[in-house]
Structure 1
Amino acid sequence: MSSLELIDFSNNSLSGSLSLYHNLPNLEKLYLHSNMLTGKLVDKIWDFKRLWYLSLSNNKFIGEIPKSFRNLTMLNFLYLAHNNFTGELPSELGNLNLVNLTVSYNGLSGPIPFSIFNISTIEVLGLLYNNFSGQLPSTFGLSLPNLRELYLSFNKLSGVIPSSINNASSLTLITMVSNSFTGSIPNLGNLRLLKTLYLDMNDLTGEYPNKELGFLSSLTSCRNLQTIDLSLNQLNGLLPASIGNFSNSLWSFGAFRCGITGSIPVQIGNLTNLTDLYLDNNELIGFIPRTMGKLKGLARIYLCYNKLQGFIPGDLCLLSKLGELCLSHNNLQGPIPECFSELKSIQKLYLDSNKLEFDVPSNLQNLNDLIWLNLSTNNLSGSFPSGIEKFKVISELDLSFNSFSGDVPSDIGKAELLVYLSLAHNKFQGSVPQSIGNLKSLEFLDLSFNSFSGFIPKSLEGLTYLKHFNVSYNKLEGKIPTGGIFANFTAESFLKNDGLCGETRLKVPHCGKGVNVVSLMKYIVPSCVLVLVVVVVIFVLMRRQKRTKQLPNDEISLLNPWRGSSYMELVGATDDFSESNKVGSGGTSSVFVGTLSDGLTVAIKVFNLQSEKISRSFDSEVEVLRVVRHRNLVRVIGCCCNQDFKALVLEYMPNGSLDKWLHSNNHFLDLLQRLNIAIDIALALEYLHQGHTFPIVHCDLKSSNVLLDKDMIAHVGDFGIAKLLGEGEWMVHTRTLATIGYMAPEYGAQGIVSTSGDIYSFGITLLEICTRKKPTDERFGDEISLKSWVSFSLQENKISEVVDTNLLGREDQNFLAKEQCLSSTLCLAMECLATLPSDRISISEVLSKLEKIKTMFLAKNSKVAL
């Protein structure tokens, strides 16, 4: 068919290799895209002298792109995207008069040939989603007068963006996403036809730190500009007032996590056609401009994770098209505006982690299209938001960490699409509604730390998708359901509900037949309390008597539930405290592993009785451990004490200390394990600080005092200098000191003990978990500390330089999710490390933020996996 000019076999299911011969001298256009063709492109087949259009995209070709394409001297359009080509891009293509060259979505590597940037006829250059490396030539843009669309995203390009790009005046689209470009963004004001600018996910910086971002002012000359995305760079500058001069054509502005400082200019109200605004994860301060109420077309506002303050302006209620509003993790205060009920299009509303207060507006129930509502971690009060049954499409409802009270309405079961429901850490009471069993899509249910009473509804057995369930720290009673998903839940879901009974594995009493356990407890408990008070009084008197008389051979053990262990039993258990049984030692004690006479493997902490100080350390630890019991604290099994010997018998932790796992070359913790350990430590501190009449301050929290059991669950131990605080929130104590590097400034300088001191130590430990660097590392001294080292990296958006290199590699498929997670965790640590104790966040806030960091990481991870 020698006269054939066009072949179009595109959009079929053709397979096999490509076999074309030389007898098509008049072929001009060849369309084979969107098939399943395989194999390599053989050099000899490219002898079509008149071919000017070739499309082989969306196939499965492999190997290198043939250099013999240079023989197609008439070729103008070459489409090779979405294949499996490897190797370098042939420089010979630069000799053709190409109008469109698209090789995106392949495995090409090496530098982009310089000759490509000399194709004066080129209009579209598509190179994205490859592995191209190297830098763009400084003359880029000088020889490309016709270039309209430039696609360089998702490669490994580096260096600066040449200022000569400003000479490619025909450009309408630039996308350079996810490379390693550095330096400042050049003046692009000459690109008057520019519509789309994507520079996100690079290492670009502002012209001068903490100064106005001048390149934004130059972009106001681009009157056709529709969308800008600068996110995930290191701009570290101020938004200029000139952003109000952008053309009315601008509909999307993205600059999240760019280190942007200062306030949001009021001139932003001039961008009347803006629909998307992403300024989250920056350092913005000041108030939300009321002028934003003029942006009638806004559909998405993301200002979360900043330092904004003041009230939420009611002007936002004028945005009738608003579908997503994220203001979480700021310092906003006051009430939720009543007029929010007018946001009829709102689907996602995030107001969590602020200082909002008062009741939730009752007319919020008018938001019928609401899918996600997060009001957690505020100071909101009053009853459960009314009209929940009208939220028929709501998927996520988080009211946790507030002061809501009263009953949960029975009609909550009408919100049938709920997947996530958290009411934790409030003051709700009454029974758990049976209707929750109607929420068939529910995967997460947290009702912990409230005052719920009555039974756990049996209807919950029908929630087949439920993965997380927590009703701990309530007043629930009766038998724990056993059917359905309840077989998967552990004791941690039911902690501190004294009236519950059920299976032994849930660590609750066995349910007796025909006996109302709760009713029986009502009679037994008062008597037991009376007996316990008498026993405690006797014990205190005996202890005083012992201190007075100092009997030489008075060997004792503590009250139940601790078991008594004789000195000889401990000698036999440890082979006479042999070195082979020693697993650790410190300034006040040594720890041995041993097996008791009943076969139980334990850790035995033997105190070195060399001074009164060490003896007091033992007394302090006993005083604290007598009153604590928590999943994340080291469990005490018993003790042995006489004039010459003092020892605690502790639960054995086979995986050793967190210090060992962080600083030994033979051990490794992945990011999720480290997050879980941090959460375990925070749970232990929350219990110590808030789980008793008087707070307990650990005073010496550090990685070596965090032990890991066989399931890698963290347990905080070593309460040798812990303090039981009385009426006040802090006390002065100068006789004992915590570990250098971990202790809070006020403790080291003035001996002030407070729960805020533990928060500081936790912050240091959190930095150590992320960086794998001890605060006493040799690189730290008078001029720089672990805290200042990390703080500088956060300011410069260079956390990859401080985090453990084993956790974050650019080759990771989920690199961005890990980077975001680690950045958020380091920022949280810095909140714990405020110099003044009053400026540090509480342990409840710490725990809440850690849980959210973990949830976000898992969500992003799952998206990457998909």
Structure 2
Amino acid sequence: MKRHSHFYPLAALVLLHHLMMTGCTAMKRLSLGTDQSALLALKAHITSGQQEFLSKNWSSAAAASSVCDWIGVQCGSRHQRVTALNISNMGLTGTIPPDLGNLSFLVSLDLRNNSFHGNLLEELSHLRRLRFIRFSKNNFTGEIPMWFVGQIPLSLCKFSHLQVLDLSNNRFSGHIPKEIGNLEKLKELYLSTNNLTGTIPREIGNLQSLQRLNLEWNQIAGSIPKEIGNLTMLTELYFANNSLTGTIPPEMGNLYQLENLQLSYNGLIGSIPHGIFNLSALRNIGLQSNLLSGSLPPDLGYRLPKLLFIDLAWNNLGGVIPVSITNCSRSRILNFARNRFTDLGPNPLNGLLPASIGNLSASLGILILETSGIKGTIPSQTGNLTNLVLLDLQSNHLTGGIPTAFKDLQNLQGLTVGDNNLNDTLDKLCSLHSLNSVDLTTNQFSGSIPECFGNMTSLRELELGNNFLVSAIPNSFWKLKDLLELNLSSNSLNASLPLEVGNLKAITSIDVSANQFSGDIPRTTGDLQNLVILNLSQNQFHGSIPDFGSVYKGILNDGRSIAVKVFNLELEGVLKSFDVECKVLKNLRHRNLVKVISGCWNQDFRALGLEYMCNGSLEKWLYSDNYFLDTLQRLNILIDVASAVQYLHEEYSTPVIHCDLKPSNVLLDEDMVAHVSDFGIAKMLEKEESFAWTRTLATIGYIAPEYGSEGLISAKCDIYSYGIMLMEVFSRRKPNDEMFAGNLNLKSWINNSLPDSILRVLSSILELALKCVCESPSERVSMKVTLETLKKIKLKFLRVMEVDS
């Protein structure tokens, strides 16, 4: 028995080994089967996108072991279980099934840059081995799931080993949970471009392993918690484009490894803590568009030797711009515009643009010192900045001329030195062939405009107004076929405008007012289809305005300015358009409609004298680089337009349908009050009528479906056009933008991206716009409801602004 007892354990071990091996194999197959089922469930929840590779590669017909060979799948070498799933950048649309929570060995889950939507299911909390979660650039909604951060003691937190959490560019809402501080191993946290509200929880200071933190483009309010100073491993901090208030905590001076700091477009007040200027690793500083005050340390440039980018524009900073900034020889962008650097001090050198500016030659691409209190001359050493792309010295106290060394700025594309006291000729700019925007207005430049300007084939904007330029416009000018804006006003230019002015096919604005031009207005001006503004006043042109369809500025004997709309009688339907406009406008009275002052017609001529709108069209303010509308101005303009349209639809004796509402038909007066214009295809309904038919089509992109397909017009058509305009005003996208192709249009783009809106007011407006552009006319809101809604949105916006201020 004892002998047998010696052999029994050995046999048992052999048997046990056999059972374990066969059992492990079975368990392995079972586990692989579980992983395969989870992936196939995910495949079944993908509704559209580039799935061809999935249908061919992710197949249930394949052997269980081949799941590790599927595209986007990576398995561990030990257990052969799925450890990483990467299906990013595949254009997929769908939802996440609960089965995905069965991939229990998953370490990395990457779904970036697709169109997955819906809430993140709690079943994903089973993935306790996850270290990397990357869900950015999708359409996920709901609040940040609490199972990410845990509501239990840290030692039991399921995701306590998470290193990367990227939920940016989605539609998440609600607050950032304070339990986020439980993720003690987290190194990267990205929550930018969502709809998050509330405040930054102070518990975020517990994440002492954090290296990158991005909360940009949300609606987060309150102050920056001082606990941010605990994150001493941080290299990148992005809080821009929120509603943060209060001061920048001095504790941020503890972030000695910080390289990128972005706090722009908030409501921060107080001075910049000097500790921030001791962070010698800083490469990029963005603090623009806040309410910061105080002065900059004189040795700023020596404290930040690695500085590449600094933007302090649009604050209330005072004192002087430190000369030491020229020590930052690696800098690429310097922007100090729109501050209060007016305290030049007793030293006459204070405020001068230093000669050492040339030390920045290595890589500086953008230098913006607009309205920054600098004086003196432009130093010749500026010519050392051979990589400069944009130089903006507008609205300062500069004197002297343009340095000869400017000839070396061969990469310069934008030159803005308007509103100074510079005096020189323009020949020194002849070698700058890369220029596309030049603003020299309101200086003392003299001499003639050199022929070389015609060789600047990249030129788009040329502003030379309010100088002492003489002689004629050189013939080379008329070669600039891509020129958009030309301002030569208030000079002493003479001769006449040649027929070649018609070559400027892209031009939108020509202002040659207050010069000494003479002769006839060239008839080729009528070929300029994109022309919005043509100002010829106070010259010596003679003869009548030619009979082409355009609008001109005129001066009456009493000094009043008017807009003269001349109709091109050679175009089909012009006589009818003139009659309609006269009929509609002669009795309309509303502050937001353009008023008719006079009319002129005979057998060969038709013209209307209209109220002059000195600020041009809404379209100009939306799409020209030199113009900007803030949120309140856009709201006011849209309320003005809605008031005018409600008057036309409901308050005038007979309903009037405008039929062509769009930004180019909304004009702005000197107070930025909007006026609806151009009633050339309007329809007047009888009192008992609610609709009519027409063969005349309006502008593509703004036409209601029933108008475009059947010619059926009603008040609902104007509401549809108004809804499109609402979207356009707040998105700056035209309905015929090149990006819209196939099934994508402005309406669907807004509908899909609505929860990504940055401000609550914008979200409310775009929701209203979508109610205006319903396919069915009966489902569209009335203009009365639209107007009331906009007024409520404006009131709410003003209250928010008052609280923030």
Q: 2:169 aligns with which of 110, 119, 129?
A: 129
State the one-letter code of the partner of 2:294. G
CA contact (8 A) 1:362 1:385 kept: no
1:58 aligns with 2:58: no
Alpha carbons of structure 1 residues 506 and 485: separation in structure 2 relative to 1, 3 Å: closer
Alpha carbons of structure 1 residues 279 and 471: separation in structure 2 relative to 1, 3 Å: same
Alpha carbons of structure 1 residues 400 and 803: separation in structure 2 relative to 1, 3 Å: farther
Q: 1:385 aligns with which of 426, 438, 449?
A: 426
State the one-letter code of the partner of 2:95. E
Over the matched positions of the two proteins, sequence identity in percent amounts to 27
1:398 aligns with 2:439: yes
What SS does the aligned partner of 2:668 have?
helix
CA contact (8 A) 2:502 2:527 kept: yes
Q: 1:117 aligns with which of 144, 149, 157?
A: 149
What SS does the aligned partner of 1:282 have?
coil
Q: 1:176 aligns with which of 212, 215, 239?
A: 215
CA contact (8 A) 1:661 1:667 kept: no
CA contact (8 A) 1:161 1:183 kept: yes
What SS does the aligned partner of 2:230 have?
coil
State the one-letter code of the partner of 2:108. F
Q: Report the equivalent of 2:195.
A: 156
Q: 1:677 aligns with which of 661, 668, 673?
A: 668
CA contact (8 A) 2:598 2:610 kept: no
1:451 aligns with 2:492: yes
CA contact (8 A) 2:285 2:311 kept: yes
- Aligned-pair CA distance for 1:806: 5.7
1:193 aligns with 2:233: yes
What SS does the aligned partner of 1:177 have?
coil
Alpha carbons of structure 1 residues 596 and 239: separation in structure 2 relative to 1, 3 Å: closer
- Aligned-pair CA distance for 1:399: 0.9
- Aligned-pair CA distance for 1:423: 0.8
Q: Report the equivalent of 2:115.
A: 84
- Aligned-pair CA distance for 1:84: 2.0
TM-score (norm. length: structure 1)? 0.57
Q: Aligned-pair RMSD on alpha carbons?
A: 4.7
CA contact (8 A) 2:374 2:397 kept: yes
Structure 1 CA distance, aligned partners of 2:133 and 2:101? 13
- Aligned-pair CA distance for 1:447: 1.3
Q: Report the equivalent of 1:336.
A: 378
CA contact (8 A) 2:57 2:71 kept: no
Structure 1 CA distance, aligned partners of 2:502 and 2:174? 59
Q: Report the equivalent of 2:284.
A: 252
Q: Report the equivalent of 1:240.
A: 273
Q: Report the equivalent of 2:98.
A: 67
- Aligned-pair CA distance for 1:462: 3.1
Q: 2:242 aligns with which of 191, 197, 202?
A: 202
Q: 2:534 aligns with which of 487, 492, 496?
A: 492
- Aligned-pair CA distance for 1:19: 5.2
Q: Report the equivalent of 1:281.
A: 314
1:421 aligns with 2:462: yes
State the one-letter code of the partner of 1:352. Q
State the one-letter code of the partner of 1:53. A
Alpha carbons of structure 1 residues 366 and 82: separation in structure 2 relative to 1, 3 Å: closer
Higher relative contact order (CA 8 A, sep 6+): 2
Q: Report the equivalent of 1:742.
A: none
Q: Report the equivalent of 1:145.
A: 184
CA contact (8 A) 2:72 2:85 kept: no
TM-superposition CA deviations, 1:187-228 (whole Å, max 9, x none): 323323221111111111224xxxxx22xx433333322111
Structure 1 CA distance, aligned partners of 2:501 and 2:241? 44
What SS does the aligned partner of 1:475 have?
coil
TM-superposition CA deviations, 1:223-277 (whole Å, max 9, x none): 3221111111111121122222102x22111111121112223242210110100
- Aligned-pair CA distance for 1:389: 1.8
Q: 1:464 aligns with which of 487, 492, 505?
A: 505
Structure 2 CA distance, aligned partners of 1:374 and 1:593? 39
Task: List alignment gaps of at least 5 residues for structure 2.
Answer: 1-27, 44-48, 74-78, 151-158, 345-350, 551-556, 559-585, 615-636, 649-657, 681-728, 730-757, 772-793, 799-805
State the one-letter code of the partner of 2:210. L
Alpha carbons of structure 1 residues 275 and 221: separation in structure 2 relative to 1, 3 Å: same
What SS does the aligned partner of 2:305 have?
coil
CA contact (8 A) 1:594 1:601 kept: no
Structure 2 CA distance, aligned partners of 1:808 and 1:376? 41
Structure 2 CA distance, aligned partners of 1:597 and 1:494? 22
1:352 aligns with 2:409: no
CA contact (8 A) 1:490 1:505 kept: no
Q: How does 1:99-110 map to 2 (within 5 A)?
A: 99-110=131-142
What SS does the aligned partner of 2:85 have?
strand
- Aligned-pair CA distance for 1:452: 0.6
Structure 2 CA distance, aligned partners of 1:708 and 1:112? 45
CA contact (8 A) 1:440 1:462 kept: yes
TM-superposition CA deviations, 1:251-308 (whole Å, max 9, x none): 1111111211122232422101101001112122221111212111111101112222
Q: Report the equivalent of 1:306.
A: 339
State the one-letter code of the partner of 2:233. L
Alpha carbons of structure 1 residues 236 and 22: separation in structure 2 relative to 1, 3 Å: farther
Structure 1 CA distance, aligned partners of 2:115 and 2:359? 51
CA contact (8 A) 1:658 1:708 kept: no
TM-superposition CA deviations, 1:712-761 (whole Å, max 9, x none): 9xxxxxxxxxxxxxxxxxxxxxxxxxxxxxxxxxxxxxxxxxxxxxxxxx
CA contact (8 A) 1:102 1:125 kept: yes
Q: Report the equivalent of 1:854.
A: none
CA contact (8 A) 2:492 2:515 kept: yes
- Aligned-pair CA distance for 1:174: 1.0
Structure 2 CA distance, aligned partners of 1:127 and 1:231? 21
Count of residue pairs the alignment pairs up: 561
CA contact (8 A) 1:299 1:324 kept: yes
Alpha carbons of structure 1 residues 479 and 370: separation in structure 2 relative to 1, 3 Å: same
Structure 1 CA distance, aligned partners of 2:113 and 2:100? 18
CA contact (8 A) 2:613 2:669 kept: no
Alpha carbons of structure 1 residues 485 and 421: separation in structure 2 relative to 1, 3 Å: farther
1:370 aligns with 2:412: yes
CA contact (8 A) 2:500 2:524 kept: no
Task: List alignment gaps of at least 5 residues for structure 1.
Answer: 35-47, 208-212, 509-531, 537-579, 586-590, 604-627, 634-656, 683-702, 713-769, 771-798, 813-821, 827-866
Alpha carbons of structure 1 residues 462 and 31: separation in structure 2 relative to 1, 3 Å: farther
State the one-letter code of the partner of 1:113. P
Structure 1 CA distance, aligned partners of 2:760 and 2:110? 40
State the one-letter code of the partner of 1:677. L
Alpha carbons of structure 1 residues 12 and 803: separation in structure 2 relative to 1, 3 Å: closer
1:504 aligns with 2:546: yes
CA contact (8 A) 1:266 1:291 kept: yes
Alpha carbons of structure 1 residues 338 and 809: separation in structure 2 relative to 1, 3 Å: farther
- Aligned-pair CA distance for 1:61: 3.5
Q: 1:437 aligns with which of 468, 478, 483?
A: 478
State the one-letter code of the partner of 1:94. S
What SS does the aligned partner of 2:203 have?
helix
Structure 1 CA distance, aligned partners of 2:477 and 2:607? 43
Q: How does 1:411-810 map to 2 (within 5 A)?
A: 411-483=452-524, 486-488=527-529, 489=531, 492-501=534-543, 503-505=545-547, 631-632=612-613, 666=646, 676-679=667-670, 710=678
Deviates more, 1:452-461 or 1:277-286: 452-461
Deviates more, 1:20-29 or 1:123-132: 20-29
Alpha carbons of structure 1 residues 804 and 63: separation in structure 2 relative to 1, 3 Å: closer
State the one-letter code of the partner of 1:72. L
State the one-letter code of the partner of 1:435. S
CA contact (8 A) 1:433 1:457 kept: no
CA contact (8 A) 2:596 2:611 kept: no
Alpha carbons of structure 1 residues 275 and 675: separation in structure 2 relative to 1, 3 Å: farther
